[in-house]
Structure 1
Amino acid sequence: MIKFCAVLLFIVTQSLAAPYKSSNTCGYDSCDLGKPDKLNVHIVPHTHDDVGWLKTVDQYYYGSRREICKPGVQYILDSVIAALVDNPDRRFIYVEMAFFWRWWNQQTEDMHNTVKQLVNEGRLEFISGGWSMHDEAATHYNSIIDQHTLGAEFLHDQFGDCARPKIGWQIDPFGHSREVASLFAQMGFDGLFFGRIDFQDRVKRIETRTLEMIWKGSANLDRQSWLFTGVLPTGYGAPPTFCYDMMCSDPPIIDDENVEDYNIPERVAAFLVAANVEAEIYTTNHVIMTMGSDFQNQNAYMNFKNLDKLIHYVNLQQANGSNVNVFYSTPSCYLYALNKAEKEWTTKTDDFFPYASVPFAYWTGYFTSRPALKRYERYANNILQVIRQLDGFSQNNQRNITFVLSEAMGLAQHHDAVSGTEKQHVANDYAQRLSEGIDRSMEVINDAYAKLLPKEGQTTSIPHQFLCSYSNISECLPIEGQKQFTLTLWNPTIHPVTIYPRVPVTQQYLIRDPVGNLISAEYLPIPDTTKNIPGRTSTAQYQHIFQASLPALGYNTYYFEAKTNTKEFEHKKVTTTQNQACILQNQHLRVVFDDQGDLQTIVNLEKNLTVSFTHQGLYWYTSFPGYKELPGIHASGAYVFQPFFSTAVPISARRSINCTKTDTVQKASIVFNEWASQEISLFNGSLQIELEWTVGPIPVDDDIGKEIIILYDTNIESGSTYYTDANGREVLQRIRDYRPTWHYVVDEPVSGNYYPINSRIWIRDHDRQLTILTDRSEGGGSMRDGSIEIMLHRRILHDDGFGVGEPLNETAYGKGLVVTGKHILLVDRPEDSALLHRVGAQQFFMQPLATYSLPNTSSYTNYSNTYRQSWSALSDAMPLNVHLLTFEQLSPKQYLVRVEHYFELNEDKTYSQPATIDLQMLFKSIGTIGEMNELILTANLPVSELHRLDWMTKDQESSHANTFHQNSLNATIINLNPMQIRTFQITIV
């Protein structure tokens, strides 16, 4: 369903009188289950309120920028609450906590009490309960959990148990992830409903009456991840001709027989037909009708008054033999009625990607749209997790400050935010909010380091820490020309890591490690391709590159001191070649290039494995512009990837190569043309290859939109099979031109085979596996045997017609936007690859946070006497298959901790085994754990109190699962099974 805005009219009406139905309960106990001998129609009034899309979240809330569209969410909530109070039969659901939280904070105590009563009576129900209705393709599971936890905490604090959401409501996202189903099940949800499904899949499911199913959300967690899932009958709008919102043009219910337009007989008859049509495609005597859509119910009286009449007159027909019973309901009550039907359901184990709304319109472009915003969102999450850790270990309890970034991240997960499918000014607003949250985070960072840096007995104020947010373009203005500065690196993982920082400088420095030893560091020119990026103002021409080995869950500080005496520097050997064949090689890998800059082979020396490349580099697809003569075929746009031709072409006929070799790093810099390049680096001792790409400004002077991909064509005998991750967690097998659960008629050979890549994609044969790790969510696939392609950047001159209303043509500094990014390449045997790509992906996702300072100390000796230069929260090693997902201080004595096992079953002989950890290890620097309470994933209910609905499949499998929980409140040692996440509220003494 295409989103729309309409003219705002405010019409005051009175509701149709209805008998009062008392209700003192909420949840399933408040549900009307209908009549067993009737077709029960569950009427669900709702609104879908995008937290930004055509307007910013502020503009949508207040109803400003009316020239774009008219809606104002504050009026929706005002109107709905008043309408619910007016008639106790009415019910309503609300989803987006970002809006409701804002509205709630502006209300009086009397209104608070009124709303609480509506919630306690089950007449206002919160569904899903996230800060936003999150996207499912471009989001990472860490941020999905966070944004749902943020909403769940607000609801629990304000309304208690009656407000705990039990249903996922993903009615508008453009495709659906199996991992999201698994996460929802772990959040305690009993079901999930959504509106969008591939048009071919929908036809098949209508024919077979399988629009409702049991979705097995995980290949590892068994029944804990099973989730009842339903596809709504009409997207998420009302049935045709029954939309009563002020935005709609359908006829109202006119029940005065003296009026010429009296239409009760016709309207009732039409509704009975609509209800029975739905009954033909579902399998119980219950159907659901969503009465609402985008930003509807600004005048809720208008909608409710007509629905009151419709319900009244349709039910009167039961006296004349009608089989239809209609009443106000909610998705939860509809689900409960289905559960009580005791039916057996079909199952699903794959996902709902890619999504095509109509032939030739595959919504796979948004997997990559706005790549800079996608990377910024990932970077902001990195900072959010770090500041929570720093705040927790310093025990400063500054959640009021971390909330600013948490809230911005919650908005960024919206399906028109990180997806890249919003207007440009809205994308700017999301970035601005993230930036403001990051700026506030520096308060937390500085207050934390004020406790962690000084040595015992030292009272000297610490040097102010700051971020260099433009390090990705080799710019850090505050350190330019300084005589000394420090670099502090916080490692947010529970395992030691080795990284290679790159510090842009205007002069050469001596660098000391945390124990005062001089570090062997390279001093290399910054590539021209970086220095020429529009907007870069740095005068730095060089960068220091060195090896930094960081402790687990802690920091190291490196001291930089400028020296003017060149004799103090060890002049290291640097070898360079231009446009010659070159080989990069360390202890583990060999990477071979020819003199044309073509990647020839990657050799894993230890395993004696060679992957040969027939093509590797940057290519582009021509964007289909759309034609009036072909109205059914959409242009390529923010949502849709529609290439004009099914073959990508090289962006340049020639390329240049410049190879540099030092003791620390060897790299091949390949320039394709003035707007595209890649740099492949191999560091000393590393098991992985780093590829950094720079694309832009993409030229469009020829009036042709371009979609830039990176291509890895190899001799791996992968056939048509490839593998992509789901939201950074489990991996799904993909097969070109194939769908596991329905016959796929190929209409788009390229975009129809694109899938979301949140962290990794790979191909393999019997002996070899090539894995690509990504630094943000991107789209890609395997268009040929042995090939991986990943879309990096898009600059398009036409709109695809699905609502955003403007081309995806990002600019900066008066030119097309330049984007840089990284891929990590791994070559290994398939059976040995899991450790590399699992650990590599986690460390790539959760990178050490670099902060700089300008110390007010006169020398390194003075600095080292005053400040700790290394610190770790851990004194013992943690298992390598365990990840610390969340560490957050809730109050002076309480913490929220999530730990996960991030290997899958049978993925690795060693690391796919259950893991055991002692959570007390995380608190050695803070105190002793006095109490542990295990909670569900959203931390709003003890696991021991969770009782999900049971379902039966057609294979006679029950969904009933034994929930893992802590046996003793005083035990700090816990077990983790593959892919299991456990959440604890911990109290220290």
Structure 2
Amino acid sequence: MNNEGSCNLGQEDKLNVHLVPHTHDDVGWLKTIDQYYYGDRNDIQHACVQYILDSVIQALVQNPERRFIYVEIAFFWRWWNEQSDDTRNTVKELVNDGRLEFISGGWCMNDEATTHYNSIIDQHSLGAEFLRDQFGECARPKISWQIDPFGHSREVASLFAQMGFDGLFFARLDYQDDEQRNKTKTREMVWKGSDSLGRQSWLFTSVLSNFYDPPDSFCFDEFCSDQPIMDDARLHDYNVPERVQAFIDAAHDQAHGFATNHIMMTMGKDFQYENANMWFQNLDKLIKYVNAQQPNGSDVNVFYSTPSCYLYALNKVGREWTSKTDDFFPLGDTPHGFWTGYFTSRPSLKRYERHANNILQVARQLNALSQINLRSNIFNLSEAMGVVQHHDAISGTEKQHVANDYAQRLSEGVDIAADVINNAYAKLLPNQSKVPMTAPQFLCQYSNISECLPIEGQDRFTLTLWNPTIHSVTHHARVPVTKEYWIRDPMGSIIPAEYLPIPDTTKNIPGRKSSAQNQYIFTILLPALGFSTYYFKVKSGEIIEKKNVTTTRNEACTLENAFVRVEFDDQGNLHQIINLEKRIAVPFTAQGFYWYTSFPGNSSLPEFQASGAYVFRPLTSKTQPVSITRMIICTKTETVQSAMIVFNEWASQEVSLFRGAPTVEVEWTVGPIPIDDDVGKEIVVRYDTDIESASKYYTDANGRQVLERIRDYRPTWNYSVVENVSGNYYPINSRIWIKDGTRQLTILTDRSEGGGSIHDGSIEIMVHRRIICDDSEGVNEPLNETAFGKGLVVRGKHFLILELPANSALIHRVGAQELFMHPIATYALPQISYANYSSAYHQTWSALSESMPLNVHLLTLDQLSAKQFLIRIEHYFELNEDEIYSQAVNVDLQALFKSLGTITNLTELTLAANLPLSQLHRLNWMTNDNESSHVNIPKDASLTDTIVTLNPMQIKTFQVTL
């Protein structure tokens, strides 16, 4: 079985070398996932995963001592589906014997900088479910294997600990950090993943010493040029003594950086083991001849192993370990090579992934609440989302044709999930079972450029919005139209909607096909975990009362509601934002678009490192404004006030303030970025204020906990500053803020972006990049995205919040969750009057009969079978973050299922949902300040009470039977 019983724990008086045969199989990078699996396009890169798995299984069968680990379930799932029963039985035996071990077990090896925690959990759960269903408990992964991502997140460490992993192994860390850890033998540590969760977030972490490669001269793959072990002493090329001594020397060299008499050697690289026999025959010989030197005084003991066996051996040593509480960002692999560009690379894909996840969660919720049992139809989108979490996917570090493939997979998954949404509404909308749906629901995927072609010219249509959160939300709908309409709300009242022109900056976006010149904007209150429908009927001959709309051009402009005032001068410069309730103001010295010139080096030496898909390296630390002049158009209505600021023909922003909203919305549009001058450009939005931030700023980790950043500083080593801009960039998944004693300026983002505070009082966020050089980190292609024959146009949103530091948590936590789990709009074209429609269909509905605590979020609602559901709920405030909302809270799960039935059984699971929590037994570690990682886990898997308690930052996962 895959447990400690199958492990070789070495010898106490020897240097024990754990050989770990492995392959690293990127789920898309230089080739698409299909091309990698089948071995297509080997002119780009020779790689064929199906042959790797064929070959490895054959080699493992030949010798029971051999071991192999496999990571990427996206590939293994494909291969497994093609195998005969005999082959499957053979693989199951290998898994049960611990000879084939699944490590991590996610659909991919996910990126850690640009991923959201919701999607990280989902992609690991997808792989874990497959392994559990096919192999049972013996295949449950106990180790996280993040050997290739470009920096490592504290929140991800916390999530992995909650999934039940015993340890984490990774390979990339900052070169200065690496040197320090090697000198002090601190490559292994207890990483404390969350202040809020304490010991349940602790994770033993090991940094590999040789990247994830074999020692020099010991690569035995068919594409390596190292000598094989030639062990026939009669031959002239007999090399056993030399090879044995070289290996013993390599083992001693590696051991210098580690604290015990155990070291692990990774025997493999990218896409290796197509001919596993070559690898294993040479490793068999290496083990035999190295160990044969022990009677001659050698202290090296080498054997086949796995990361979980290595970790178990370390645990048995019984020593104390150093600990760590910060993260491993940013990653610099040379003095000028900071991998902070990928925090922003391919911003459109980064946004599309968020949008697709939004639809995925809504499809799951609607499938569960309508009980239409179409979970299998959601798999395509789940699988596409799992693939896109890969560290060369959402990171933006793939070739262009691979990025296109990722987007196509998401698009196809969304289309199938939209059918699930439509079928769910066909059951939920009719108010009597015999009433048929008159028209299918459909998504409008281009609403962000004010395009919805199916409703154009229609005399009537409906707009239905689903709120995926468990709290009622205020939403501002925008509907592009070619006619004027009466709009009825769910109560039948005609609502006062604003009828406004669509800005030219939108209408001029390349590829927009809509003939809509105007849009309706209106504010609606959506019920918790429910929908509301709005009925549009064309105005025909009625006298239309025009609402009061004022518009000015190139004049001073003030936007104001009951909460906030935003002031611009007549040049379009943001002058100040005032929180009217708290009576605090932030003056702005600058706000707008700037660009860095990309360093155009050839990367032949560190000082010639170029900027590219991975690396952000500006030519100088100074930015240039995209324009020295700008135009401002100010529009004021009862519902919304906005300032459209046009910087030039390729950069604009619309700053909007809605009635009753405490946040300021900034919708930015950037592109096509001009490169006719052969200069790569990296576009940032800067918000420069007088806040006395004292070199400190705060960024979130994967949409969850927040970490303090200090300019030109690293908490765990003496940092030598070389790149003062890119070395201070961090991933921003959902928010960044600066503060002083009385004011906090927070900016929420709608996707992952890179940024920081390069000067006190300033927040800088990179939103788009167009680069003409490659950074020589492997993709071998400049980051130069185009569409419709021009540079790519990207549009996104920032939300600005000005608050007292003590009061900021509520608004930015709730705001970020509502932005992430956004209402999903569907349209329909019913051919019946409003009177007939309203009598036949529900126009508003909520799955909840009682309000839920504001600090609780419904993360997952997924129907597993007719009576079984998977549910995750979370407390999404940190400890000590808010006086009220950082307290423990009770939630009655029955309230979430009131519309479905009575809960008869409730089993708490690990975060990956592949093991009852009561059965989890993690290894215990001691830190050098004498702290134990032990956590008491409840013994009983089934709960009798449906009321559960959530502590700050806690996620609880349940299997619910109705």
AA of the residue aligned to 2:38: Y
Q: 2:146 aligns with which of 161, 170, 180?
A: 170
Matching residue of 2:877: 903
Matched, 1:219 2:202: no
Matched, 1:734 2:716: no
AA of the residue aligned to 1:924: K
Give deviations 1:483-529, integer Å, cap 9, x for gaps: 00000000000000001110000111110000100111000010100
Matching residue of 1:142: 118
For 1:728, what is the secondary structure of its paired residue? coil
Distance change in 2, residues 1:739/1:386 (3 Å): same
Task: Tell me the distance in 1 between the aligned counterparts of 2:426 and 2:187.
Answer: 57
Matching residue of 2:960: 986
- Map 1:179-328 → 2, pairs under 5 A: 179-328=155-304
- Is the 8 Å Cα contact of residues 454 and 462 (structure 1) preserved in structure 2? no
- Is the 8 Å Cα contact of residues 42 and 329 (structure 1) preserved in structure 2? yes
For 1:154, what is the secondary structure of its paired residue? helix
Q: 1:649 aligns with which of 605, 624, 646?
A: 624
Matched, 1:826 2:826: no
Which blocks of at least 5 consecutive residues in structure 1 are unaligned? 1-24
- Is the 8 Å Cα contact of residues 510 and 788 (structure 2) preserved in structure 1? yes
Matched, 1:606 2:581: yes
Matching residue of 2:752: 777
Shift of residue 966, structure 1, vs aligned partner? 7.1
Q: 2:560 aligns with which of 585, 597, 602?
A: 585
More moved, 809-818 vs 438-447: 438-447
Q: CA RMSD in A?
A: 0.9
Give deviations 1:439-498, integer Å, cap 9, x for gaps: 001210111001100012442224111111000000000000000000000000000000
Task: Tell me the distance in 2 between the aligned counterparts of 1:863 and 1:627.
Answer: 65
Task: Tell me the distance in 2 between the aligned counterparts of 1:537 and 1:921.
Answer: 45
Task: Tell me the distance in 1 between the aligned counterparts of 2:517 and 2:723.
Answer: 46
Task: Tell me the distance in 2 between the aligned counterparts of 1:718 and 1:204.
Answer: 30
AA of the residue aligned to 2:284: D
For 1:382, what is the secondary structure of its paired residue? helix
- Is the 8 Å Cα contact of residues 426 and 436 (structure 2) preserved in structure 1? no
- Is the 8 Å Cα contact of residues 141 and 729 (structure 1) preserved in structure 2? yes
AA of the residue aligned to 1:573: N
More moved, 557-566 vs 284-293: 557-566
Matching residue of 1:689: 664
Give deviations 1:95-133, integer Å, cap 9, x for gaps: 000000000000000000000000000000000000000
Q: Identity across aligned pairs (percent)? A: 69
- Is the 8 Å Cα contact of residues 918 and 941 (structure 2) preserved in structure 1? no
AA of the residue aligned to 1:719: A
AA of the residue aligned to 1:282: F
For 2:420, what is the secondary structure of its paired residue? helix
Task: Tell me the distance in 1 between the aligned counterparts of 2:603 and 2:584.
Answer: 53
- Is the 8 Å Cα contact of residues 934 and 965 (structure 1) preserved in structure 2? no
Matching residue of 1:844: 819
- Is the 8 Å Cα contact of residues 905 and 960 (structure 2) preserved in structure 1? yes
More moved, 201-210 vs 457-466: 457-466
For 1:888, what is the secondary structure of its paired residue? strand
Distance change in 2, residues 1:53/1:906 (3 Å): same
Task: Tell me the distance in 2 between the aligned counterparts of 1:628 and 1:285.
Answer: 39
- Map 1:43-82 → 2, pairs under 5 A: 43-82=19-58
Task: Tell me the distance in 2 between the aligned counterparts of 1:253 and 1:197.
Answer: 33
Matched, 1:527 2:508: no
Distance change in 2, residues 1:966/1:545 (3 Å): farther
Matched, 1:369 2:330: no
- Map 1:72-151 → 2, pairs under 5 A: 72-151=48-127
- Map 1:865-884 → 2, pairs under 5 A: 865-884=839-858
Task: Tell me the distance in 2 between the aligned counterparts of 1:75 and 1:138.
Answer: 32
- Is the 8 Å Cα contact of residues 224 and 963 (structure 1) preserved in structure 2? no
Shift of residue 564, structure 1, vs aligned partner? 2.2
Q: 1:956 aligns with which of 930, 934, 944?
A: 930
Matched, 1:537 2:513: yes
Task: Tell me the distance in 2 between the aligned counterparts of 1:621 and 1:397.
Answer: 51
Task: Tell me the distance in 2 between the aligned counterparts of 1:598 and 1:740.
Answer: 37
Task: Tell me the distance in 2 between the aligned counterparts of 1:518 and 1:28.
Answer: 68
For 1:366, what is the secondary structure of its paired residue? coil
Matched, 1:855 2:851: no
Task: Tell me the distance in 2 between the aligned counterparts of 1:781 and 1:333.
Answer: 40
Task: Tell me the distance in 1 between the aligned counterparts of 2:722 and 2:53.
Answer: 43
Matched, 1:936 2:910: yes
- Is the 8 Å Cα contact of residues 934 and 966 (structure 1) preserved in structure 2? no
Task: Tell me the distance in 2 between the aligned counterparts of 1:439 and 1:514.
Answer: 27
Q: 2:328 aligns with which of 349, 352, 360?
A: 352
Task: Tell me the distance in 1 between the aligned counterparts of 2:600 and 2:654.
Answer: 32
Distance change in 2, residues 1:383/1:628 (3 Å): closer
For 1:145, what is the secondary structure of its paired residue? helix
Matched, 1:502 2:478: yes
Task: Tell me the distance in 2 between the aligned counterparts of 1:987 and 1:757.
Answer: 38
AA of the residue aligned to 1:582: C
- Is the 8 Å Cα contact of residues 491 and 554 (structure 1) preserved in structure 2? yes
- Is the 8 Å Cα contact of residues 905 and 942 (structure 2) preserved in structure 1? no
- Is the 8 Å Cα contact of residues 458 and 866 (structure 1) preserved in structure 2? no
For 2:292, what is the secondary structure of its paired residue? helix
Shift of residue 631, structure 1, vs aligned partner? 5.8
Give deviations 1:144-177, integer Å, cap 9, x for gaps: 0000000000000000001000000000000000
Task: Tell me the distance in 1 between the aligned counterparts of 2:938 and 2:577.
Answer: 44
Task: Tell me the distance in 2 between the aligned counterparts of 1:803 and 1:399.
Answer: 38
Task: Tell me the distance in 2 between the aligned counterparts of 1:633 and 1:726.
Answer: 31
Matched, 1:335 2:311: yes
Task: Tell me the distance in 2 between the aligned counterparts of 1:441 and 1:957.
Answer: 47
Task: Tell me the distance in 1 between the aligned counterparts of 2:737 and 2:940.
Answer: 37
Shift of residue 565, structure 1, vs aligned partner? 2.2
For 1:822, what is the secondary structure of its paired residue? strand
AA of the residue aligned to 2:775: D
Shift of residue 398, structure 1, vs aligned partner? 1.0
Give deviations 1:25-47, integer Å, cap 9, x for gaps: 32111100011111100000000
Matching residue of 1:658: 633
Q: 2:919 aligns with which of 936, 945, 956?
A: 945
Task: Tell me the distance in 1 between the aligned counterparts of 2:5 and 2:756.
Answer: 47
Give deviations 1:180-210, integer Å, cap 9, x for gaps: 1000000000000000010000000011110
Matching residue of 2:785: 810
Shift of residue 321, structure 1, vs aligned partner? 1.0
- Is the 8 Å Cα contact of residues 450 and 462 (structure 1) preserved in structure 2? no
AA of the residue aligned to 1:295: F
For 1:790, what is the secondary structure of its paired residue? strand
- Is the 8 Å Cα contact of residues 667 and 797 (structure 2) preserved in structure 1? yes
The alignment of Structure 1 onto Structure 2 pairs a total of residues equal to 962
Shift of residue 219, structure 1, vs aligned partner? 1.1
Q: 1:926 aligns with which of 900, 904, 912?
A: 900
Shift of residue 571, structure 1, vs aligned partner? 1.2
Shift of residue 629, structure 1, vs aligned partner? 7.4
Shift of residue 628, structure 1, vs aligned partner? 7.0
Task: Tell me the distance in 2 between the aligned counterparts of 1:440 and 1:570.
Answer: 42
Give deviations 1:636-656, integer Å, cap 9, x for gaps: 000000100101110001000
AA of the residue aligned to 1:824: F
Matching residue of 2:601: 626
- Is the 8 Å Cα contact of residues 624 and 642 (structure 1) preserved in structure 2? yes
Task: Tell me the distance in 1 between the aligned counterparts of 2:916 and 2:680.
Answer: 52
Shift of residue 633, structure 1, vs aligned partner? 2.7
AA of the residue aligned to 1:684: R
Task: Tell me the distance in 2 between the aligned counterparts of 1:462 and 1:27.
Answer: 57
Shift of residue 256, structure 1, vs aligned partner? 1.1
Which blocks of at least 5 consecutive residues in structure 2 are unaligned? none
Matching residue of 2:944: 970
- Is the 8 Å Cα contact of residues 489 and 534 (structure 2) preserved in structure 1? yes
Shift of residue 970, structure 1, vs aligned partner? 2.2
